[in-house]
Amino acid sequence: MSKLIIILISLTLLVSCHDRNKSPQNAEMERFLDRLLKEMTLEEKLGQLNLPAAGDITTGQAQSWGIAQKIREGKVGGLFNISSLEKIREVQRIAVEESRMKIPLIIGMDVIHGYRTVFPIPLGISSTWDLELVEKSARIAAQEATAEGICWTFSPMVDISRDPRWGRVSEGNGEDPYLGSRISEAMVRGYQGDDLSANNTMLACVKHFALYGAAEAGRDYNTTDMSRIRMYNEYLPPYQAAIDAGVGTVMTSFNEIDGIPATANKWLMTDLLRDQWGFDGFVVTDYTAINEMINHGMGDLQQVSALALQANVDMDMVGEGFLSTLQKSLDEGKVTLAQIDQACRRILKAKYRLGLFEDPYRYCDEERSKTEIFTDAHRQFAREIAASSFVLMKNEDSVLPLKKGGTIALVGPLADNTENMPGTWSVAADFSQSTSVRKGLEAAAGNDVKILYARGSNVVQDTLFDSRISIFGKPTYYDTRDPAVMIREAVAAALKADVVVAAVGESAEMSGEASSRSDISLPECQRDLLKALLATGKPVVMVLFSGRPLTIPWEAAHVPAILTVWYPGTEAGHAIADVLFGTVNPSGKLSATWPQNVGQIPLFYNHKNTGRPLAPGTWFQKFQSNYLDIPNEPLFPFGYGLSYTTFTYGDLKISKEQLSGEDTLTASVDLTNAGPYDGAEVVQLYIRDLVGSVTRPVKELKGFRKVFLKAGETQTIAFKITPEDLKFYNYDLEYDWEPGDFDIMVGSNSADVKSARISWQR
Ligand code: BGC
């Protein structure tokens, strides 16, 4: 097809592309795709299924060479993780000017929690329990990324995980399917907006489909195995929520499911995703996931590539198995041309919906890249969402908020570090642009407060371990001095101060991909520092950085104030200062349970009762389900988080005790801000289905409201409950509710609720 014809077709489309959801436009698109596919050679079609690595970052072993030549030859469908507008313009130019078919490339990136302006890691964002903020974070990320050539993000990551040893819990939304689903939808809406062809919206990609967060022993890339009933009720809902919200693409996961890797799992990719859920976008593999099926023991490259295509996987990330073997498989009758055409068509369709055929440079906008990226407004938002994500775990004797006066000793290995503030997956971030805790505190303190800084300890006192966690431009600045000398320096600062702020925890690369830990406590050298600081008798505030729930029972018992800040992003230091000085009252709540020790893992609030449940409030009972050496309770439960003010809950009121059919139940509480500060509280609704045809969890989150109350104010918070909220997948995997008794619970976290029993009959 000549360039002229492409231009003519594009012009026709330009006139008629206002609303693509209307069928004449769809018909137009289908005709356009028919014509295109007719013109393409088999090699060019396979080229569209190929997503090689571009080179800015690599996460696996495979490398691709000679990208420009490959693009000219029509062997590349898209590229990803290039953070340079110039480079993107150039590769796009080669595609649309120098390749025979002149098909534009789709340009992807791991825009996971912001683009140049970095927001907190997803686990932090999920701790805001604020869906407006969540959606806005994705909207801003899309606005920034699309100005610099990126039109496809590998987000949202919605893998449910109950295992904090797994480093990638940092990338997800915690342990709960309901909260995870609401966040999943909000992210898709934020990225894709109402019109995918607008120059500031982008295609989202829900990942990693599926069950990646259930890796055995919390070890990354490990096997998963679970019953269908658990999958459907507990692990699959957030992926489905993204599909229902119209997500354009899906990424396969590395793990196997029922003995077949997700990337070749026909049940998963066809029966469930396409047939049951009606997904009509395209599926991309994870990084070299096709090739890795050789190690899984599924065959050689030709075989595993054919299996992936047969399963309904469309695009091959990095490994080039499709490009190098599908022709042979076609010749040998192992795959069909219809299968290749279908995959190719889905990818072309996404490009069409993005408007790339109309204007391949639609997302390359020098002007926008100068005015819409890293703006004051975006940074202000980053500060707001970061402060909202912090979880106040403990605040004995109201150590916090700090007074704006006197002397603060600021210590800890993360107190004066900028590079670690964005956390994992910040491909486009300029690390030098984020604010350290030290800078943030100094800016907020002005002349009113004296700040004495001392490092106090390393992140880990082990050079080999340190070398593993100081990669991707996020140094820990390992200090070779004697640890005792560092501690002495910190203690000297503490002795001169009124209060100590200790910025401790994990460095950014201690969580994220391929960062599993078997011991998730605070490194010993940091605990030694805390012990020495506490021994001074000065009040100590622990500002805790982490990408996962940590096991910190000692710290929780001894340190008077603990503020968990995850990795807050670009505005870390300012947001931390806002909360420490009380300009912002903390309102984050945990989206994952914090265990007391690793032996309790997996530990999650929505567990089953078992036949031998432990009596509430007790520890050990022989022949009950418990441990000899530790209580069943977590250190901090799901949904937990304190405030500087005190919220009191009135009695739970329910509109009826006996309900039937499609009735609606109203459950309400009077929430009072009984403390001295204005603040926000996340009111949580849980339901327990007491008897089922299959066993049901002891409680399940079914709603939440984040409300802001002025000091002294009372508001009635009401939840409407319908049979829809009682539904679950039964043994036959039918989604329905069953009549019977239910406990309705409302409270401030999963372990602190007011409860009422109701009966609901058909
Ligand atoms: C990760 C994905 C990511 C991809 C591309 C993989 O290693 O598992 O989450 O999107 O790399 O960078």
- Report the alpha-carbon distance of residue 460 to residue 442 in Å, rounded: 26
- Report the alpha-carbon distance of residue 79 to residue 202 in Å, rounded: 15
Residues with a catalytic annotation lie at: 286
59 in contact with ligand 1, CB cutoff 6 A: yes
- Which segments within 634-699 are labelled E, that is strand? 647-649, 653-654, 658-660, 665-673, 679-689
How far apart are the CA of 725 and the centre of ligand 1, in A? 34
pLDDT attached to residue 18: 42
Q: What is the pLDDT of residues 639-678, one digit of tens each?
A: 999 999 999 999 999 999 999 999 999 999 999 999 999 9
171 in contact with ligand 1, CB cutoff 6 A: no
pLDDT attached to residue 471: 84
Rounded average pLDDT over 29-43: 98
Rounded average pLDDT over 337-359: 98
513 in contact with ligand 1, CB cutoff 6 A: yes
Most ligand 1 atoms within 8 A of CB, residue of 424, 513, 515, 516 to mutate: 513
314 in contact with ligand 1, CB cutoff 6 A: no
Instruction: Please report the atom of ligand 1 found closest to the CA of residue 81.
Output: 12
Instruction: Please report the atom of ligand 1 found closest to the CA of residue 154.
Output: 10
Beta bridge partners of 126: none
Instruction: Please report the atom of ligand 1 found closest to the CA of residue 57.
Output: 12
> Worst-scoring range by mean pLDDT, 304-313, 421-430, 642-651, 749-758?
421-430
Instruction: Please report the atom of ligand 1 found closest to the CA of residue 251.
Output: 10
Rounded average pLDDT over 290-306: 98
Q: Which two tokens stand for residue 680?
A: 């926000």
Q: What is the pLDDT of residues 376-406, one digit of tens each?
A: 999 999 999 999 999 999 999 999 999 999 9
- Three-class secondary structure of residue 745 per DSSP: strand
Q: Which two tokens stand for residue 609?
A: 């009762």
DSSP strand pairing (450-454 vs 714-721): unpaired
DSSP 395-419: EGGG-PSPPSSSEEEEESTTTT-ST
Preceding amide of 401 cis, omega within 30: yes
DSSP strand pairing (249-252 vs 205-209): parallel
The CATH superfamily holding the domain 645-761 is Immunoglobulins (2.60.40.10)
- Mention every residue, 6+ apart, whose C-beta is less than 8 A from residue 129: 179, 588, 589, 591, 682, 704, 706
Q: Is the backbone of residue 720 left (phi > 0), alpha (psi -120 to 50) or beta?
A: beta
How far apart are the CA of 112 and the centre of ligand 1, in A? 10
287 in contact with ligand 1, CB cutoff 6 A: yes
Instruction: Please report the atom of ligand 1 found closest to the CA of residue 59.
Output: 7
How far apart are the CA of 287 and the centre of ligand 1, in A? 6
Question: Does 591 score more than 80 pLDDT?
Answer: yes
How far apart are the CA of 286 and the centre of ligand 1, in A? 6
Nearest to 112 by CA among 221, 204, 193, 189: 204
Question: Does 9 score more than 60 pLDDT?
Answer: no
Which residue's alpha carbon is at the smallest distance from atom 5 of ligand 1?
A: 287
Residue 180, classified by CB atoms within 10 Å of its CB into exposed (0-12), middle (13-18) or buried (19+), is buried
Residue 326, classified by CB atoms within 10 Å of its CB into exposed (0-12), middle (13-18) or buried (19+), is buried
How far apart are the CA of 59 and the centre of ligand 1, in A? 7
pLDDT attached to residue 63: 42
pLDDT attached to residue 22: 58
How far apart are the CA of 418 and the centre of ligand 1, in A? 24
pLDDT attached to residue 55: 58
Q: How far is CA 140 from the centre of its chain?
A: 16
Q: Cα separations (Å) of 705 from 41, 187, 436?
A: 55, 18, 32
Task: Using alpha carbons only, give the angle 192, 198, 201 rounded to the nearest 5 degrees.
Answer: 30
- Mention every residue, 6+ apart, whose C-beta is less than 8 A from residue 138: 155, 156, 186, 187, 188, 189, 190, 191, 204
Question: Does 36 score more than 60 pLDDT?
Answer: yes
Most ligand 1 atoms within 8 A of CB, residue of 57, 58, 59 to mutate: 59
pLDDT attached to residue 17: 41
How far apart are the CA of 58 and the centre of ligand 1, in A? 9
pLDDT attached to residue 571: 98
Which residue's alpha carbon is at the smallest distance from atom 8 of ligand 1?
A: 286
H or E segment to which residue 529 belongs? helix 524-535
How far apart are the CA of 139 and the centre of ligand 1, in A? 21
Which residue's alpha carbon is at the smallest distance from atom 2 of ligand 1?
A: 286
Domain boundaries, the chain: 384-599, 645-761
Which residue's alpha carbon is at the smallest distance from atom 11 of ligand 1?
A: 287
- Report the alpha-carbon distance of residue 347 to residue 654 in Å, rounded: 51
- pLDDT bucket at 234, cuts 50 / 70 / 90: very high
58 in contact with ligand 1, CB cutoff 6 A: no
Q: How many CB atoms lie within 10 A of CB 364?
A: 24
**What type of residue is 507?**
S
Most ligand 1 atoms within 8 A of CB, residue of 57, 109, 154, 290 to mutate: 154
What fold is seen in the domain 384-599? Rossmann fold (3.40.50)
Which residue's alpha carbon is at the smallest distance from atom 10 of ligand 1?
A: 154
Q: How far is CA 187 from the centre of its chain?
A: 10
HEC states along 46-98? Answer: HHHCEECECCCCCCCCCCCCCHHHHHHCCCCCEEECCCCHHHHHHHHHHHHHH
How far apart are the CA of 335 and the centre of ligand 1, in A? 27
Mean pLDDT for the chain overall: 95
Most ligand 1 atoms within 8 A of CB, residue of 287, 290, 513 to mutate: 287
- Report the alpha-carbon distance of residue 270 to residue 312 in Å, rounded: 6
- Report the alpha-carbon distance of residue 621 to residue 666 in Å, rounded: 38
- Report the alpha-carbon distance of residue 562 to residue 553 in Å, rounded: 12
- Which segments within 298-390 are labelled E, that is strand? 316-317
How far apart are the CA of 69 and the centre of ligand 1, in A? 25
Instruction: Please report the atom of ligand 1 found closest to the CA of residue 205.
Output: 10
110 in contact with ligand 1, CB cutoff 6 A: yes
